Amino acid sequence: MRIRTKMYLGYILLIVLPFLFFALFTYIQLYDKMLTQYQLVNQQNLEQTASNLDSSLAKLESLTSIYQNNAALIDFLQGEFVDDRDLIYSYLKEMNPAFSFAYLADPLVQNLTVYPKSQKRLLGAPGFQNYRDIGGFLTPDEAEELRPAQGLWKHSFDPAAPALSYFQKLYSNSYITDLGIIQISVDPAMLDQFVSALTQVHPNNAIIVLDRQGKMVSYVTNTKLSDEQIRSIIQPFGNESLGGFLADHDRLLINSVHIPKLGLTIIEVNKRTALFEFLRVKQLWVACGLALLALLSALYFWIVSSLTKRIVRLSRHMRRVEPAARLAVRSVLLDRLFANQANRPALTSYAQSGAGVPEQPR
């Protein structure tokens, strides 16, 4: 094996391969760690956004306490007003301003309606409707499930008529008799704002919304997903969140959160390639390291090639000048022997051996 080949092979085995193995091992460890952190950050962001939505819903729910504690409204629902003039005065001075306050308290409130259970008066006034109309929003079982401290959110994701409303029963002062139901209609754009907040963080994600039965009721996508991928994503979900996990052969990053007030499960889907954008700076460092290794390797090969060429040239030169060098060395030795008279016998013996004695210069 040539010396150049040996030096190339030694460099590859001792320098290049260990560096590549170490770099690959470090990158794999870094990638796995960053993948875990990336999903954790996504989950925290999703939970924080859901917490903000839950706070907004709780604020809207708290409006019902204003009407439960409105004495004029409760007296009307209990039938305390006998004189119509007193009823109209109470409506104008106390009930209607309370209804108007809801629109000022939260801009998301679109409408506020009270459905009196037994009273038929004021049904034509703003803020009141017939109790039978509640059947268009609530089933009898849903109406029975309403409790003093437990209301119900109803939503519709129909693109033609999206809706979001909160229903709560109104009770007598002793909370023994239910007097009617109050409905707070909220701008459905509230949910759109929630989805928009998630897409602003990850523009190429997909948002899937599941109801209490685990059925998909809404799908907002900024990335292409097949029907099979969607089925594989929503299959493990029931009526609760599963946190973060991987799906579709670890090619999709799944994060989820449950919103109990709405009975919805929000699923955020990001492709694993999104992580490479997050690791772009790290990949730049890896690329610089590989480029530096390639540059040093090229420099090493150039030095080795130049050095071996010089060694080969020197070896050829030595082979050409070797016979002449031998004769020159022999001539110098013989001159020294002749010059030393004490070694005359040795010189004679050397000459008689057949090597020949050159003529002594005079």
Structure tokens at 303: 């030095």
Q: What is the pTM of this model?
A: 0.68
Residues 229-238 have a mean pLDDT of: 76
Structure tokens at 130: 């017939």
Residue 193 dihedral angles phi and psi, to the nearest 5°: -65, -35
Q: Estimate the crossing angle of helix 17-61 against helix 189-201, to 10 degrees.
A: 160
Confidence at 357, pLDDT banded by 50, 70, 90: very low
The residue behind tokens 């730049």 is 284
Confidence at 1, pLDDT banded by 50, 70, 90: low
Q: How many CB atoms lie within 10 A of CB 99?
A: 21
State what percent of residues in the chain have pLDDT above 90.
16
Q: List the Cα angle 246/263/259 in 5-degree steps.
A: 60
Q: Indicate if the pLDDT at residue 354 is higher than 70.
A: no
Q: Indicate if the pLDDT at residue 116 is higher than 90.
A: yes
State how far the Cα of 199 lies from the Cα of 278, in Å rounded to an integer. Answer: 16
Q: What is the pLDDT of residues 135-171, one digit of tens each?
A: 888 998 888 889 888 899 998 887 777 889 999 999 9
State how far the Cα of 305 lies from the Cα of 296, in Å rounded to an integer. Answer: 14
What are the strands, taking DSSP E only, across the chain?
109-116, 152-156, 163-171, 178-186, 206-210, 216-221, 244-247, 252-259, 264-271
The continuous run of DSSP H or E covering 74 comes out as: helix 71-77
Q: Indicate if the pLDDT at residue 182 is higher than 90.
A: yes
| Whole-number pLDDT of residue 58 | 92
Q: What is the pLDDT of residues 261-309, one digit of tens each?
A: 888 888 888 887 666 655 565 667 767 777 887 887 788 777 777 777 7
Higher-scoring residue by pLDDT: 257, 325: 257
State how far the Cα of 191 lies from the Cα of 108, in Å rounded to an integer. Answer: 11
In one letter, which amino acid is 12?
I
Q: Indicate if the pLDDT at residue 183 is higher than 90.
A: yes
Quick one: 179 exposed, middle or buried, by C-beta within 10 A (0-12, 13-18, 19+)? buried
